[in-house]
């Protein structure tokens, strides 16, 4: 007997699942679930909060909006997209997760992500750690000088900042120059060894975007535009984001 897709739609109408279906190509295949469980088998968030991708989708299909919106599981999903990769029907569950996050009042979203998003919006560096332009430049130059003086073979190592016309504009995780500055060095060495023409910018140098994970669309876009402008202002050809 051939398997048949289970049509989504229970007794209660799911408001957010219908909204997501409207914005996705071909409705994100949301009515093609075979309940095979492949999505749950590879999900790093399976079992957390007594939830997994398959259960999440079925609850949405049954119109259990209130239960899903009150669960913290959507914030534990990494949006890694594994569920789509392994799904034989290519169902876009991450878009459901993202829409659940977006549906929660902003002030009720996880404090860590919320705080990091708001911190990144305070400066054109986009640093979620609050590091300013002068702080970043000081750390880079200080670490570079130490490597040049103490590590044989890297006396000519470079870590350019605001180099006009460099081919690559490099982003850096904002935590590293603040708490783990030595972690920046291996990438510098790789770029140096291959003869890459690159630069940091004092503006837009932070790589991550917590506003994306918080589903704050307006500020997600604002941070991306700030970074893109920094790349354009320096006339770089490629934007190399380490995140």
pLDDT in tens, 42-70: 899 999 999 999 998 888 877 788 888 88
pLDDT given at position 169 = 98
pLDDT score at 69: 87
Instruction: Identify the H or E element spanning 239.
Output: strand 238-240
Q: Interior CA angle at 87 toward 15 and 212, to 5°?
A: 55
pLDDT at 10: 47
User: What's the CA gap between 136 and 142, in Å, rounded?
Assistant: 10
**Share above pLDDT 90 across residues of the chain, in percent, rounded to a whole number:** 70
pLDDT at position 20 is 67
For residue 38, count other CB atoms closer than 10 A to its CB: 19
Which regions of the chain are under pLDDT 50? 1, 6, 8-10
Which pLDDT value is given to residue 65? Answer: 85
Domain ranges within the chain, ordered by starting residue: 15-104, 111-240
> What is the pLDDT, as a whole number, of residue 8?
47
Per-residue pLDDT, 33? 80
Angle between helices 133-150 and 185-193 (to 10 degrees): 70
Q: Give the pLDDT of residue 6.
A: 45
Q: What is the pTM of this model?
A: 0.80
Query: pLDDT at position 61, please?
Result: 77
The conformational region for residue 27 under phi > 0 = left, psi -120 to 50 = alpha, else beta, is left
The chain-wide mean pLDDT, for the chain, equals 89
Written out in words, the top-level CATH class of the domain with range 15-104 is mainly alpha
So what's the pLDDT on residue 15?
65
Q: Do 79 and 213 contact (CB within 8 A), yes or no?
A: yes
| pLDDT tens-digit readout, 18-50 | 766 665 666 666 677 888 899 999 899 999 999
């Amino acid at each position: 007997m051939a398997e048949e897709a289970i049509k989504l739609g229970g007794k209660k109408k799911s408001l957010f699942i219908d909204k997501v279906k409207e914005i996705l190509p071909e409705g994100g295949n949301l009515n093609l679930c075979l309940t095979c469980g492949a999505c749950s088998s590879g999900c790093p968030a399976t079992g957390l909060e007594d939830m997994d991708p398959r259960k999440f989708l079925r609850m949405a299909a049954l119109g259990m909006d209130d239960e899903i919106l009150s669960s913290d599981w959507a914030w534990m999903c990494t949006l890694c997209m594994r569920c789509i990769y392994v799904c034989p029907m290519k169902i876009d569950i991450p878009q459901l997760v993202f829409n659940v996050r977006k549906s929660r009042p902003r002030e009720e979203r996880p404090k860590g992500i919320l705080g990091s998003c708001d911190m990144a919006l305070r400066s054109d560096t986009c640093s979620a750690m609050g590091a300013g332009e002068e702080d970043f430049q000081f750390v880079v130059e200080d670490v570079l000088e130490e490597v040049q003086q103490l590590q044989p073979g890297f006396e000519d190592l470079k870590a350019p900042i605001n180099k006009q016309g460099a081919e690559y504009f490099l982003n850096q995780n904002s935590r590293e120059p603040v708490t783990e500055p030595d972690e920046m060095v291996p990438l510098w060495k790789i770029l140096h060894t291959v003869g890459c023409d690159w630069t940091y910018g004092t503006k837009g140098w932070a790589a991550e975007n917590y506003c994306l994970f918080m589903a704050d669309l307006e500020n997600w876009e604002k941070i991306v535009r700030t970074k893109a402008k920094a790349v354009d202002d320096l006339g770089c050809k490629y934007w190399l984001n380490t995140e």
